Each structure stands twice: as C-alpha cells, then as structure tokens.
Amino acid sequence: MTDVPRSRLLEMLLQAGRLKTTPRTGWHQRGVPAPESVADHSHGVALIALALLDSEPGPFDRARVLAMAISHDLAESVTGDLSLGASRLLPPGAKMAAEAAALAELLGGLGFAANWTSLWAEFEAQATPEAKLVRDADRLDLLATALSYELSTGTRSLEEFWRFAPEAGFAYETSRTLARGLRERRP
C-alpha cells in the first residue's frame, strides 16, 4: 500500500468515526435527552442482524449481511442524520442521491469503494434476502430504541417511529414476532 492510499484510508476512517458523535436527529427533535449516535444505531442493527441470521431459516450470506448492517448509514458521516420528518419533505430520490454523492466523496480513491457502494445500493434497493434482513434489523433497532426511550425517559412523543415500522412491513417472520413483542411492551 502506497502512502497516498494509506493516507486516504486514514482520512475516510476519521470521517466515518464522526458517526460516534453524530446524534440520531429524530430522537433529539422529540425531546429525548442524550439520544443515541448513528454509530450506536449501526451497532444495534448489526447485533440484531446477527441474531436474525441465527434465528431465521434461509441461506444468507453472513458476511454480506454484517458488512451491510455496519455500513448502511455510513453516508451520514458526511450528510448528517436526516430525521423521518425532514426526509419526507424532500423530493423523491433526493435523499438517496445525496447519500450516493456522500459515499462517493467519502470513499473516493479507495480500492474497495465500489464494493462498499454496492453494499449500500443493495440495501437501498431491497432486492436481496440479505438487504431485507438488514432492513428488518434496522427497523427493529428503531422500535427497540423507541421502547427504551419511552420506558427510561418517559418520552411519549415517539408514535411516528412506531408508525414507520408496522409489523406487516417486516420481511421475515422472526422480525414480525419481535416487532409484535416490542409493541406489547409499550407503556
């Protein structure tokens, strides 16, 4: 590895590391004190995806699922986190175009850029079993976090998050069962 790519890799890793301090905007907007970071969320998605891999029958590419789960929000290290409320106000395709441009900027000059961009595009397209499993994990993490905030902080203005992830919107039975269980625990 030459000094230029090594330096470029370091720049990307430092930029991506900002996800550790990038708060999830929607929670903040709803009055949740000290909301999770995007990196916290990505960890939750990866953990749930790992559990789903070991709970849901089917031939899944485990490495692809975990790589997708960890990197699905990587573009937010450039764009920041757009809340559900803000995203719905954008023209169709605008958020996806911005995230594609952010990934191109973040990963530019790195030999694995095409692979990582492909993982993100696969997740966005929802055309593979792996992408659907990660989407389920993404939404389950959202619901688990909403429940945690409702129980621990008393925040009651989180209904939009529950509406965003209805039980019927999950691809896999294990996910639907977990979503139902989370709903049943709401105060």
Phi, psi of 80 (to 5 degrees): 80, 175
Q: Return the CATH number at 98.
A: 1.10.3210.10
Q: Which of 65, 98, 104, 66 lies closest to 81, judged by CA?
A: 98
Predicted local distance difference test score (pLDDT) of residue 79: 94
Return d(Cα 152, Cα 162) in angstroms, integer. Answer: 17
Quote the mean pLDDT of the chain. Answer: 94
Bridge partners (DSSP) of residue 23 are 37
Predicted local distance difference test score (pLDDT) of residue 3: 63
Please compute the mean of the pLDDT values over residues 166-185 and round it to a whole number: 97
To the nearest whole percent, how much of the chain has pLDDT over 90?
Answer: 86
Please compute the mean of the pLDDT values over residues 117-138 and round it to a whole number: 97
Q: What is the chain's Cα-based Rg? A: 17
Helix (H, G, I), strand (E, B) or coil at 54: coil
For the chain, the domain total comes to 1
Q: Which DSSP letter does residue 36 get?
A: P
pLDDT digits (tens, 9 = 90+) for 65-96: 999 999 999 999 999 998 887 888 899 999 99
| Full residue range of the structural domain in which residue 58 is found | 3-184
Confidence tier at 165 by pLDDT (50, 70, 90) = very high
